[in-house]
Amino acid sequence: MLLLPDPSTSHAFLFLFIISLLSFMASVDNTREIYDHGLQRFERFVGAKRGCNITGISKLKEYLHRFGYLPQTNNNSVFTDLFNEELELAVLRYQEKFGLPITARLDAGTLNQMAIPRCGEPDDIAGRASTTHLTENYVYFTGRPKWVRQKPMTLTYAFSPWSFIDYLSPRDIRIVFRRAFSRWSNVVPITFLETGDYGFADIRIGFYSGDHGDGQPFDGVLGILAHSFSPENGKLHLDASERWAVDFEREPSEVAVDMESVAVHEIGHLLGLAHSTVKDAVMYPSLKTRERRVDLTVDDVKGVQSLYGSKSSLRFGSSLVSESTSSTNEAAAILALKSEWWFRGLGSLPVVLLLGMTMVHVI
């Protein structure tokens, strides 16, 4: 006699199977979470160490060189695919900078960090001035450059009339940047005013693709999101290839980048701050897709105030968040907004499974 399973039991089993599958996917080796931002598929490099020769290692050397970790002794030399002593030292510096386990290998955690979209400005490795305090991690550009103007200081900014994006309205973009500038003007005695005179504005903002003439070419979707320059250069460039978002509720793209988060970060560079090692700080160099980080931490505020002084009307704690509060807020934002890429080889159509507040995308 053939015994058929009880339908209710089958449904319960199916539900438990789905839960188990989700748990498995959440705990799968993090090499599955590695982003691809145009360098190479990073999976091939997992576990690489000194002595290895793997096609594509030269691209990772170019990456580490661009951000200040790997010096190039000869300007005419070409990076090879050999994992040599110089690359080992560069990986050690990178791991130390980002608080990663010091392995001197290209482990999954290190490659994951490299693959997260980021600012195009090099990190604080050599030749830059930084603080050496026990509790502060803010960093200056070499020589501590800053804007010098008659007090009270006013800096003008303008948007390029030729280098824009067409899927967001100019009004929405201007509102985002107005908020971003105000986050800094709330803590230092500087007023930012928009002007229509792009040629004479102190700060000039535009969207560009690829090689756009400033020696720092963009690399397409993700990878390098934006870059700006130390005072008093005033250039702030965003990669036009990105899918920029002013409101994640209106932008469903998995690779959307929060414009305000990037704007706040780049304005920090324009004011003279380099990259911080505090992960909650707006001056931290990396930003994941669909992540939002706009609140100045105590470290950000102390850094910019060390250059320009404090705003007399500022009540400490009223215009910024503490490290602990920022961390909590960011964790909540990531839980609600962050999408992880799973199993890239399974096809191009995403299957979205919603469980509680966590969205898991199978791609």
For the stretch 37-67, pLDDT in tens is 444 467 889 999 999 999 999 999 999 999 9
Catalytic residue flag (residue 260): no
CB 174 within 8 A of CB 159: yes
CB 306 within 8 A of CB 239: no
Tokens of 77: 């030399």
Per CATH, which fold does 30-115 belong to?
Answer: Muramoyl-pentapeptide Carboxypeptidase; domain 1 (1.10.101)
Annotated binding site for Ca(2+): 202, 219-220, 239, 242
Task: Please state, in angstroms and as integers, the Cα–Cα distance from residue 256 to each residue in 35, 243, 274, following that order.
Answer: 14, 5, 25
- Pairing type for strands 243-245 and 256-258 reads parallel
Exposed, middle or buried: residue 303 (CB in 10 Å: 0-12, 13-18, 19+)?
buried
Contacts of 1 (CB under 8 A, 6+ apart): none
**Dihedrals phi, psi of 93, to nearest 5 degrees:** -65, -40
Distance, CA of 258 to CA of 168 (rounded, Å): 13
Model confidence band, residue 78 (pLDDT cutoffs 50, 70, 90): confident
- Give pLDDT, residue 142: 87
**Dihedrals phi, psi of 36, to nearest 5 degrees:** -125, 110
Exposed, middle or buried: residue 291 (CB in 10 Å: 0-12, 13-18, 19+)?
buried
Q: Which helix (H) or strand (E) holds 159?
A: strand 153-159
Vertex 135 angle, CA 130 and 138, to 5°? 35
Per CATH, which fold does 153-344 belong to?
Answer: Collagenase (Catalytic Domain) (3.40.390)
Contacts of 154 (CB under 8 A, 6+ apart): 190, 191, 192, 193
Annotated binding site for Zn(2+): 119, 212, 214, 227, 237, 265, 269, 275, 283
Listed in order, the ranges of the chain carrying CATH 3.40.390.10 are 153-344
Q: How does 251-277 read in b/e, with b if 16+ C-beta sit within 10 Å?
A: beeebbbbbbbbbbbbbbbbbbbbbbb
Q: Tell me: the pLDDT tens digits for 250-299?
A: 999 999 999 999 999 999 999 999 999 999 999 999 999 999 999 999 99
Q: Tell me: the pLDDT tens digits for 204-227?
A: 999 999 999 898 999 999 999 999
Model confidence band, residue 357 (pLDDT cutoffs 50, 70, 90): very low
Q: Tell me: the pLDDT tens digits for 140-157?
A: 898 999 999 998 999 999
The amino acid present at 96, given as its one-letter code, is E
Question: What pTM, to 2 d.p., does this model score?
Answer: 0.76
Tokens of 231: 């005072």
For the chain, the residue count is 363
Contacts of 177 (CB under 8 A, 6+ apart): 157, 159, 194, 205, 263
Q: Which of 325, 327, 337 is nearest to 280 (CA)?
A: 327
Q: Tell me: the pLDDT tens digits for 165-202?
A: 999 999 999 999 999 999 999 999 999 999 999 999 99
Distance, CA of 326 to CA of 320 (rounded, Å): 9
The single residue of 260, 266, 291, 340 carrying the catalytic annotation is 266
Listed in order, the ranges of the chain carrying CATH 1.10.101.10 are 30-115
